[in-house]
Amino acid sequence: MDSVPIAFVDTLCTTLQKKDLKELQKIENRWLRTVGTHCSRRRELAVRLNPNDDETEVGIRIYEGMDGKTPVPYTTLTKYDRIRLISIKRFHRQLLPDTISMERFRSKVLPVLSSLTDVVEVQAPVTSSKNLVESVWNVLCAPAAVIETGYTGQKCGEFIERQIRIGYLGKLKLHGDEWPESIKVTLKSFLKSSNYVYLDLFSTLTIDLDMFICIVESFLNGDLYRKIHLYGKPSDEMKELYEALLSGGTFTLLERLPEPSSITRGRSLCEIQWTRSHTYRLRALLSAKQLSVYRI
């Protein structure tokens, strides 16, 4: 490793997370100083973007750490910094921090923020500015580990698809009433992803039988090696399954669904379990209004 050029090490360090830089520091070598420089100057940042009601201005607040206690001036950002959280929330004008025009934000500030973003969590609730969020989706190239968003338009679906392909996305929370049914193709792809941990459909989207089967088969095939959670409203087909189970029906009604280890029927709730290797269990709690699936 002593023959590795310092310039290469410097470039490599820009791609590493701070925890990885700390591990690299443990290796005694001639490029230890370069690693130490990156580690000591690295700040992991949270960025909060607050557009006003008419979407003509944007307030920008940057903090070191995720707790929002240590402000960081935009003018102090360097190549060593990394943005790990982007939160977008509309504010009333009188509550906004210092602002810049939306045009200047898109042309000057957003490209800088995007260049410093790495393995990020993005929070864009339903109340966010759709135009601003779409701009972020269009520019942001860094991998996202967590996405929480309402539907903002075509760029939103494309961004989620792209993040699934990149392979870091583990948690996805979709809120609101405007999601197209076509997004379910993307969601099924996410459920099959090796990084899948959590899918929350707090929206008009429902969990259909194909999505349910996807989770069960992944579990039985040994593809779910971590704790996972799927939560949302059941589709009409899943409601029919619930009614059949509640009345004492069997899974022969739906031959595509693997046979469960046990079914427990309550007054208004059915618990279905699958077991693998006598150790791991997949549990589904199904009612007329909710479906929750998780691996124990």
Q: What is the pLDDT of residue 257?
A: 86
The tens place of each residue's pLDDT in the chain, 296 residues long, gives 556 677 777 777 777 777 877 777 777 666 677 777 877 788 999 999 988 888 888 989 999 998 888 999 999 999 999 999 999 987 655 555 678 999 999 999 999 999 999 999 999 987 778 889 999 999 999 999 999 999 999 999 999 999 999 999 999 999 998 999 999 999 999 999 999 999 999 999 999 999 999 999 999 998 887 899 999 999 999 999 999 888 876 665 566 788 899 999 988 999 999 999 888 999 999 999 999 999 98
Question: How far is residue 200's CA from residue 212's CA, in Å, rounded to a whole number?
Answer: 13
Block residue for tokens 């590795």: 4
Question: In the beta sheet, which residues pair with residue 270?
Answer: 265, 286
Q: Which segments of 23-133 are extended strands (E)?
A: 44-51, 57-64, 70-71, 82-88, 99-101, 117-124
CA distances from 34 to 80, 144, 152 (A): 12, 27, 42
Closest to 121 measured CA to CA, from 108, 140, 104, 134:
140
Please give the Cα distance from 126 to 178 (Å, whole number): 10
CA-nearest of 172, 111, 171, 103 to 140 is 111
| pTM for this predicted structure | 0.89
> What pLDDT does residue 205 have?
96
Q: Determine the pLDDT at residue 92.
A: 59
Report the C-alpha gap between 171 and 57 in whole angstroms. Answer: 30
Tell me what pLDDT residue 86 has: 97
Cβ–Cβ < 8 Å for 190, 205: no
